[in-house]
Amino acid sequence: MKKIRVFLGYLTLILIALSMLYPFFVMVNLSFTGNSEIFSEAGKIFYTHLTLDNYKNVFTELPLATYFFNSLIVALLTTIGQVMFASLAGYAFARVNFKFRNALFLLILVTMLVPPQVNIIPLFFLMREFNLIDTYQALILPALFGGFGIFLMRQYFLGFPKDLEESAKIDGCNLFQTFFKIALPLALPTVATLAIFTFVTSWNSFMWPLIVTNSESMRTLPVGLAVYKGSFRELTLWGNLLACSVICTIPVIGVFLLGKKYFISDILQGGVKE
């Protein structure tokens, strides 16, 4: 009976995985299929006449390399900045006693309840006042600070062993040395988890880059892809669009694979209680 339950559990997981991978498989398959074949043989599950024409077309018809570079720069700098600020703030809220600490942290939690769309207009006016519209600064600065990152890092540092802090003090380490030499390296799984979430969110961001960028040279991939789709008048070239979509997913998959070990480790740590 136990073997049957295990078999059914694995079977269910496999079916769920296949249902989630099927749309991705269709996207990749259609990205290597000519537009004429897509429309003439609509509804096929697998296309065998594969071609690289769609990828050649998107690189010649729009500045895809520029869009990719912009998205990569913005996502990397946003991830690095938010991880650093969130780690410092989370450590301070967890391990440093200062006035109004709990009240300030409560305010940060409240910001997590506010929909991001509410902040778009005041942020836009703020960027305009500093003459940062259509710049990397406008794309990066508002995303450097987030309540979720601070909350996540604080939760980890709350369980940080006090013995390690006391040992560091005995060895002559100050607060920042303790953080950078001991606390932060030990928090690597949580840092990797925050980095993955931040990178994916920044990479997929559409609304904010659409509002604060005007020139083609500053567009990110999601915005460029939307503009490219809007350029079609009579017939949407789905093969070209899906080729762009495949290119968009490559960095996200790469970042997850690089941080997968730490990500899984953080989940396992969160599920184990002493």
Per-domain boundaries in the chain:
58-271
Does residue 274 have a pLDDT over 50?
Answer: no
- Residue 141 CA to residue 82 CA, distance in Å, equals 10
Q: Sign (positive/negative) of CA torsion 108, 156, 201, 17? A: negative
- pLDDT at 127 (0 to 100): 92
Picking from 137, 143, 156, the residue whose alpha carbon sits closest to that of residue 82 is: 143
74-83 pLDDT tens trace: 999 999 999 9
Does residue 273 have a pLDDT over 50?
Answer: no
The token duo for 112 is 């997590």
The token duo for 262 is 């730490």
Asked if 27 contacts 246 with a C-beta cutoff of 8 angstroms, the reply is yes
**How many other CB atoms sit within 10 Å of the CB of residue 241?**
20
Tell me the one-letter amino acid at 213.
T
214-238 pLDDT tens trace: 888 899 999 988 888 776 666 778 8
What is the four-CA torsion angle of 33, 39, 45, 51, rounded to 10 degrees? -10
- pTM, rounded to two decimals: 0.85
Does residue 261 have a pLDDT over 90?
Answer: no
8-67 pLDDT tens trace: 888 898 999 888 888 888 888 888 887 777 776 656 667 777 788 888 888 888 888 899
CATH of domain 58-271: 1.10.3720.10
